[in-house]
Structure 1
Amino acid sequence: MILELADIRIQPGQQAAFDEAIQRGLATVISQSRGYRGHKVNKGVESPERYILMIFWETLEDHTVHFRQSPAFTAWRAIVGPFFAQPPQVEHFTLLSKSN
């Protein structure tokens, strides 16, 4: 399993609208994508315009090829992209250790 970690910064004052948009995009686009295994979204406390999006994919290619090179990526960006203050920083991780 691969963890996609996206550090998202949105425009100030757009938190309520972005909260709705990201949840809608996850439910209608991301969760329907090949290799999708789940997600988590965290909002910043000290930095309310910062979000950490974690999406779990079966393989790296499920994200980088099958999703990013599909019409679903365009649909996702149409929903959440207008809120971005800058392009999200995205990295991928594999699991090293886990607690219960």
Structure 2
Amino acid sequence: MILEAVILQVKQGMEEEYEEAFREASKIISSMKGYIFHELQRCMEVRGKYLLLVKWESLEDHTIGFRQSIEYQDWKKQLHHFYDPFPAVEHFENVPL
């Protein structure tokens, strides 16, 4: 299992519209193979800043299964115009303790 983590900066004044669009786009990501869970957190200190966390069964479920899918084109169309700058996506794996 891997964790995708993304800091998102939404253009000023578009926060409410973004959150509504994200709710709608959530149906896309949650239907994908290998998807486990996702959440969107709003930053309390910086207006328009969000943290997206998505758990996937494998890295490939995200990078190939989702990012190279037709569904991703819808996701992109619904959400990417809100971001400035465009976010960097990082992947993490659990450290056994």
TM-score range, shorter chain: over 0.9
Tell me the residue number matched to 2:10: 10
Deviation of the 1:55 alpha carbon: 0.5
Matches within 5 A, 1:22-37: 22-26=22-26, 28-37=27-36
Cα deviation, residue 82, structure 1: 1.5
1:40 aligns with 2:78: no
Q: Would you identify which runs of 4 or more consecutive aligned residues in structure 1 move more than 4 Å?
A: none
Q: How does 1:52-67 map to 2 (within 5 A)?
A: 52-67=51-66
Question: Deviation of residue 97 (structure 1)?
Answer: 5.6
Between the aligned partners of 1:66 and 1:48, the Cα distance in structure 2 is 32
Determine the C-alpha separation between the residues in 2 that align with 1:92 and 1:19: 23
Unaligned runs of 5+ in 1: none
Q: Which amino acid aligns with 2:69?
A: S
Q: Among the aligned pairs, what percent are the same residue?
A: 34
Cα offset for 1:6?
Answer: 1.0
Find the residue that maps to 1:29 and give its secondary structure. helix
- Judged with a 3 Å threshold, the aligned counterparts in structure 2 of structure 1 residues 97 and 48 are, in CA distance, closer, same or farther, namely farther
Q: Determine the structure 1 residue equivalent to 2:86.
A: 87
Alpha-carbon deviation of 1:70? 0.8
Cα offset for 1:46? 1.0
Considering only aligned residues, what root-mean-square deviation do their CA atoms show, in Å?
Answer: 1.3
